[in-house]
Structure 1
Amino acid sequence: MALIKPFECVRPNEKDAARVAALPYDVYNRQEAVCEVKREPLSFLKIDRAETQFDDSTDTYAPEVYAKAKELFEEALADKTFITDTDKTYYIYALTMDKRTQTGIVACASIDDYLNNVIKKHENTRADKEVDRITHVDTLSAQTGPIFLAYRADSVINDAVKKTKENKALYDFISPDGIRHQVWKMTDITLVENVRKAFEGIDSVYIADGHHRAASAVKVGLKRRRENPGYTGNEEFNYFLSVLFPDEELMILPYNRVVKDLNGYTQEEFLNKIKEKFDMAESDRQVSPDKKGTFGMYLGGKWYKLTAHKDIMSDDPVDGLDVAVLQDNLLAPVLGIGDPKTDKRIDFVGGIRGLSELEKRCREDCVVAFSMYATSIAELFAVADAGKLMPPKSTWFEPKLRSGLFIHRI
């Protein structure tokens, strides 16, 4: 059973919500973050990335940066940029991109469910990437970036969401990237209880995106437990901020690959090597794969469609992923890319950027590009259920959840 609880939400006032809402902290480099905060001084990014308040001589991870983040947060509470809802409830968060809407429930998930694998992962996390968010959450005593969770759709939860969306939205705005954001508060206590009980009947919840944020929140919770040996389990530090989406509403975009050289092969030699494992057909247009086991390839100003031979496909939840088929049968053995996480010769391009971005990269700094068929949410669930890990850069979720719309104080 999953413990998904309602919570007291700190959130922006209705007037300022559109200006406060910010993309996740890790989609920007430092200079981009500085520019974004200059563009929008109310952006929550100034709290998420408080190094934007210092010149470049200050280290991104210096103690004074986190102290500044806390100061800015407390100022925003004091001047009523942020308000605190004192009733514990759920919120509904709908994001619409290209006329397609996905709707999730904003709530708090249990760190014990994370530790006991009720909340399942499909990625490893790196300790060095966790330290920053651990320090940020611990210094603010607040979680500011929700974890993107997924679950198998449930009719009771669907009904509660539908009824709540019949009310007037708290927020309804379009962000600069064209995404519509709508938020409702679940004010019917019967619906709140229905949702809580329905989640108790769900065996598994899955991290779709935000593995490092989740790991960081859990480690802060464990630190607080050590500091409070008499803890009961009901304290807010035992839970982390999440938005939970039913599987039927989620769409994963492909995560495409670009490679800087042909590992010493001529173009003709490379094409011949590909034919050992893939059928290949030249195309007069961009190739966006339309089914599993197919890949687009851009090389020498031409597009090709590659179809994996049946004998290299697998029923294994990891080995059967298209990203694994390409890695194991072409990228590693032919192009010599043994570890895509560390090899500087490969780069990854989110599907949101389109196929023209692959052509552009091949004109600038790469030689060959591969367009992928997107991993499905069912495949993600299967990998996590098997206790396995996805290859690097297997999934790209869009649109991104905004930070600053919902804050959970611990």
Structure 2
Amino acid sequence: VANSITAHPGNNVNISGYVVDEHNKTVSTGKLFIKINGDTYTSCIIKDNKFNCTYRIPNLNAGIYKLQYVYLQNSKYARSELNKTLNITNNLFNVRVVANSITVHPGDNVTFNGYVVDEFNKTVPVGKLFIKINGKTYTSCIIEDNKFNCTYRIPNLKTGVYKLQYVYLQNSKYARYELNKTLNITNKLFNVRVVANSVSAYPGDNVTFNGYVVDEYNRIVSTGKLFIKINGNTYTSCIIEDNKFNCTYSIPNWNKGVYKLQYVYLQNSKYARYELNKTLTLPNKLVNVKIVAGNIAAHPGDKVNVNGYVLDEHNKVVPYGKIVIKLNGKTHLISNITNNKINYTYTIPNYEAKKYNLQYVYVANDKYDRYELNKTLIINNDEKNEINHNTSG
């Protein structure tokens, strides 16, 4: 079961089909010869219940040739010949271009893109196109990877509607084709919208405002400036770079609450002004923390290193705060987190040798909640060189 073929001299042709037995069941094995006017030109092996092989048509004269698919006899199946035709033609294939009209401003960089199909609706993989505006050629595009894509800076033409032509150039296989569309050059500002989120933070936090802007055709806007407003007052600005905006601002020490957050895209020569209303939430809930620290073993009078660190509920290091060290409920040391760590030197009192309750207490502040970690201080009276001051927690 296979078809006749129409091709040009030198074409790579796909020869495909399948074989069935006398009970109309698909034959899963075997080999075929492909013959043109009785001469064998190539062969195909059946795989996955079908045959599929590619052959470059020789430079034969234009005409109709006898095309034979010859299934070769084997130990199970008899020989079979299917006669079809190979039509070698010098006629050019008709094509059509698939592309769109364009709306732009003078001076814009515009991408002309699309693809070309032949009269059988197959994608045309080769060729060149001219891009014409009102009959004058301004740039050209080469088909690559089955499509064309070229960029051109629109000249400073007057506003108006121009004739835009995509002209596929004739070659040895495909005929010339013109697609007529329109180029609308306008001074009208494009409408835009900002895509960004509400923000939740604590007073003093460094907050990143980020997002992107799209125009009325849902195309990314690559230029422009935004103001960031909170309750109507401008606090910072962002520049669009690499098709997005991204700027950082330190939240002032305001009261807890929900504030109006506005992302304001500023009007320019191409795009209209736009405001996106979101919320800035300064929550009342304190962030939970945990202390990571260990037990301590020492002798009376020893100087020991009390160290560790504090993590928030998202497992991020807490960079500031006050730490209280208690022994059996009595405060012995108060200090601050420095360089993201708890790190103090403490002299062990002259207590009797035994185990004491060692507490690391993180003191609540305007952002982080209070936390107690209970560990053990072991005071020994045995030989000092046998004691490790720090034990794993």
Q: Which has the higher contact order (CA 8 A, sep 6+)?
A: 1
Larger radius of gyration: 2
Report which of the two has the higher share of strand: 2
Q: TM-score range by the shorter chain?
A: under 0.3
TM-score by length of 2: 0.18
TM-score (norm: length of structure 1): 0.18
